[in-house]
Amino acid sequence: MNDAVKMDTPSATQSDVDFDAIIIGAGVSGLYQLYRARELGLRTRVFEAGPNVGGTWYWNRYPGARFDSESWSYGYSFSQELLDEWDWEEHFAGQPETERYLNYVADKFDLRRDIQFNAVVAAAHYQDDNHSWKITLDDGSHCTARFLITAVGVLSAAVMPRISGTDSFKGQSCHTHNWPTEPVSFEGKRVAVIGTGATGIQAITEIAKTAGHLTVFQRTAQWSAPLHNSKVTPEEMADIRKNYTDIFARCQETVGCFIHAADPRAALEVSEEEREAFWEQRYSEPGFGIWMGNFKDVLVDAEANQLMSDFLARKIRERVTDPAVAEMLIPKNHGFGTRRVPLESGYFEVFNQPNVKLVDVNENPIKCVTPDGIQTSDADYGFDIIIYATGFDAITGAFDRIDIRGVGGTSLKDKWADQPVTFLGIMVDGFPNFMMVMGPHAGLGNFPRAVEYTADWVAELIGHANTRNVTRIDATADAANAWTDHVVELNDGLLFTEVDSWMTGINRNVDGKDVRRIMRYSGGHPAFRRRCEAVSQGGYQELSMD
Ligand code: NA7
């Protein structure tokens, strides 16, 4: 074993491996999985590509980066002491506050001593002769572990656009995910932002406040709604603290683990006045209520969805003074909520500013980046700074970037080439002792709630195996196929499956990601929990154990 990976004394039961468990990633998932692994007494090592903890909240330090989940519903729930100690400053925390929070957690639970930073996992190969994984870092060092747990995030493999000349640009440029740690000044600068997803919308709103001139290159307009962020007063924090038990219980019972649950009424069964009043109310309230707490038919019934989209189009027309610009900002190729809804804090008004220009790249495609700026089909733009808010190779991208091989050398990337196949979104048949916290087929939503549940389930499974001297756990092919069929069926009738987005596996900047696939579990967290509990309480009959 290479020196870069330090080893503790092997335990009697697992003396043939360097570690009981390797976790990839020290973000929200990896930190908690490490905490649980420690409780089990596992000799654990976390490999983290970055120089510090935080994952998403370490890397995405672009201006305006913040939660769209209520902060106090997003924090960890597992430690009463932590809940008692941590005061949230904003209802929707910005990246610096969240990064501070995750550092606080790492320090409080003394997690860093088991984390190796700047450690990029290049390969992980299963070795059936001793039921272990051989993990190799990109510096060539390697080690072995009984269990391999991925906590690599859903949106961590950043992707640059397929535009030629990006390297030739003489000014400053970066992808929002790789934002520098030192402050960037936009004062008096000519700035370009390419991309108008959740990230672009946050960054554009903030950068427009100080940029000399900002040009936004938009390919797909978004149905975005107000965030309504505010400071948390001491009185509110005291109230939140009193109610944590109820808050987390509520999150467990909603589809996306948010505090917001769908309204039991259908948009089409109430009067027009009632509908409009409800939507006005949702539009004026903080957070995802407008998406997750909307009428129950808005995301499944095309007519209801059209009415909701019309409502939001009217809002955009009210807020944007130039009617031609307003029309450019109104999505035409998808309905409300069928892509991830970005929440905004004055985004549409940005386009009323004299220092901001919106360019539709469908009308005027970007031809290339030049040393001085960007050339489109109809103009040459000079820039000092170019920002790529072009998103991620979502969900499977971080897996694809590691050479993961299961029994017989089967590559995970190849196995998933057409469609991810998983068991509970946690295991993959033919990849024994391999567990994913928030892999493909996990439910998407208020991330830490699902993370805590999944990491607990994984820890319970490993505990079950260890107490029975089981050294090899694999999902059966039947179980994985049945689960995958179930995940696919759940998408019938959901409007979002008919739309290109990272949630349907589309990324036009990545080879092979141009066909829609079922990437996430759409049955909702309560149903997911019931499925997982049925497996654990049933004695893990869907798994083979030796
Ligand atoms: P997204 O939501 O994938 O957005 C990426 C944006 O970049 C989107 O508007 C893309 O347009 C655009 N894009 C990508 N390539 C190009 C080119 N070549 N030209 C113009 N525009 C381009 O990523 P985000 O980082 O904003 O958000 C990811 C998630 O993070 C978000 O949903 C939250 O959950 C947190 P497209 O839509 O593909 O036409």
271-311: per-residue pLDDT in tens? 999 999 999 999 999 999 999 999 999 999 999 999 999 99
The answer to whether position 184 is within a domain reads: no
Whether the Cβ atoms of residue 63 and residue 206 lie closer than 8 Å to each other: yes
Specify whether 404 is located in the same domain as 438.
yes
pLDDT of residue 503: 94
pLDDT score at 1: 35
- Whether residue 100 contacts residue 114, with contact meaning beta carbons closer than 8 Å, is answered with no
Atom 17 (ligand 1) nearest CA: 161
Q: At what angle do helices 272-284 and 302-319 cross, to 10 degrees?
A: 60
Mean pLDDT over 69-82 rounds to: 98
Q: What mean pLDDT comes out for the span 207-220?
A: 98
Backbone angles phi, psi at 97, to 5 degrees: -65, -40
SS (H, E, C) 10-51: CCCCCCCCCEEEEEECCCHHHHHHHHHHHHCCCCEEEECCCC
Note whether 399 and 438 are within 8 A (CB): no
Ligand 1 atom with the shortest distance to the CA of 340: 32
Residues 291 and 418 in one domain: no
The count of structural domains within the chain is 2
Ligand 1 atom closest to the Cα of residue 220 is 39
Q: What is the pTM of this model?
A: 0.96
Q: Are residues 208 and 143 in the same domain?
A: no
Task: Answer whether residue 375 shows pLDDT above 70.
Answer: yes
In the structure encoding, which two tokens stand for residue 39, read together? 């409780």
Q: Return the SS3 of 182.
A: coil
Which pLDDT belongs to residue 56?
98
For ligand 1, atom 14, the nearest C-alpha belongs to 390
In this structure, the answer to whether residues 414 and 299 fall within a common structural domain is: no
Give the pLDDT of residue 14: 52
pLDDT at 7 over 50: no
The average pLDDT across 72-88 equals 98
What's the rounded mean pLDDT across residues 318-341? 98
Examine the domain organization and report whether 228 and 364 are in the same domain.
yes
Please say if the pLDDT value at position 8 is more than 90. Answer: no
CATH number assigned to the domain comprising residue 28: 3.50.50.60
How far apart are alpha carbons 407 and 143 in whole angstroms? 18
Which atom in ligand 1 lies closest to the alpha carbon of residue 162?
Answer: 18
Q: Are residues 414 and 357 in the same domain?
A: no
Q: What number of H helices and E strands is found in the chain?
A: 18, 20
Does the pLDDT value for residue 460 go beyond 70?
Answer: yes
- Dihedral angle computed from the Cα positions of residues 507, 513, 518 and 520, in that order, rounded to the nearest 10 degrees: -50
pLDDT, tens only, 135-166 = 999 999 999 999 999 999 999 999 999 999 99
Residues 293 and 346 in one domain: yes
Most informative mutation of 69, 390, 444, 504 for ligand 1 (most atoms within 8 A of CB) = 390
Q: How much distance in Å is there from the Cα of 71 to the middle of ligand 1?
A: 24
- What separation, in Å, do the N-terminal and C-terminal C-alpha atoms of the chain show? 27
Domain annotation covers residue 307: yes
What's the rounded Cα separation, in Å, for the pair 205 and 476? 49
Residue 521, judged by CB atoms within 10 A of its CB (0-12, 13-18, 19+), counts as: buried
Which residue among 328, 360, 388 closes a domain?
388
Compute the distance between CA of residue 282 and CA of residue 293 in angstroms, rounded to an integer: 8
Q: Are 374 and 415 in a shared domain?
A: no
pLDDT of 88 above 60: yes
Please determine, for residue 459, whether its predicted confidence score (pLDDT) is greater than 60.
yes
State the average pLDDT over residues 176-180: 97
Among 59, 199, 368, which is best to mutate for testing ligand 1, by the most ligand atoms less than 8 A from CB? 199
* CA 260 from centroid of its chain's CA atoms: 18
Residue whose CA lies nearest to ligand 1 atom number 4: 197
Nearest alpha carbon, ligand 1 atom 35: 198
Q: Classify residue 75: in a domain, yes or no.
A: no
Identify whether the C-beta of residue 477 lies closer than 8 Å to the C-beta of residue 101: no
The DSSP symbol for 469 reads T
Element (H, E) at 116: strand 115-116
Among residues 388, 409, 432, the one where a domain terminates is 388
Residue 410 lies in a domain: yes
185 C-alpha to center of ligand 1: Å?
A: 23
Confidence label for 15 from pLDDT (cuts 50, 70 and 90): low
Percent of the chain residues topping a pLDDT of 70: 97
Q: Which of 37, 40, 55 is nearest to 448 (CA)?
A: 55
Domain final position from 342, 367, 388? 388
C-alpha span between 101 and 93 (Å, rounded): 10
Distance 261 CA to ligand 1 centre (A): 26
Q: What is the DSSP letter of 174?
A: E
Average pLDDT of the segment spanning 521-543: 97
Q: What is the pLDDT of residue 16?
A: 86
Confidence of residue 95 (pLDDT cuts 50, 70, 90): very high
Ligand 1: lining residues by beta carbon, under 6 Å:
155, 161, 163, 194-200, 217, 219-220, 340, 361, 366, 389-392, 502, 509
Distance CA 6, CA 258 (A): 40
- 3-state secondary structure at position 538: coil
| Residue 164, domain member (yes or no) | no
**Average pLDDT of the segment spanning 449-457:** 98
Specify the ligand 1 atom closest to the Cα of 198.
26
Same domain, 481 and 411: yes
Q: What is the mean pLDDT of the chain?
A: 96
Work out the average pLDDT over 239-263: 97
Task: Give 397-463 as a DSSP string.
Answer: HHHHTSEEE-GGG-BHHHHTSSS---BTTTB-TT-TTEEESS-TTSPPSSHHHHHHHHHHHHHHHHH
- Asked if residue 169 has pLDDT above 80, the reply is yes
- Does residue 68 sit within a domain? no
Name the residue type at position 307.
Answer: L
Mutate to test the pocket of ligand 1, among 219, 368, 393 (most ligand atoms within 8 A of CB): 219
Distance CA 228, CA 453 (A): 29
Domain that holds residue 476: 19-53+111-157+394-545
Would you say residue 497 lies in a domain?
Answer: yes
Whether the predicted pLDDT of 4 surpasses 60 = no
Instruction: Compute and round to an integer the Cα radius of gyration of the chain.
Output: 24
352 and 244 co-located in one domain: yes
pLDDT tens across 379-424, in order? 999 999 999 999 999 999 999 999 999 999 999 999 999 999 999 9
Looking at the fold, whether 377 and 400 belong to one and the same domain comes out as no
| Percentage of the chain exceeding pLDDT 90 | 97
Hey, whose CA ends up nearest to atom 18 of ligand 1?
161
| Nearest alpha carbon to residue 534 among 544, 524, 526 | 526
190 domain residue, yes or no: no
Same domain, 375 and 419: no
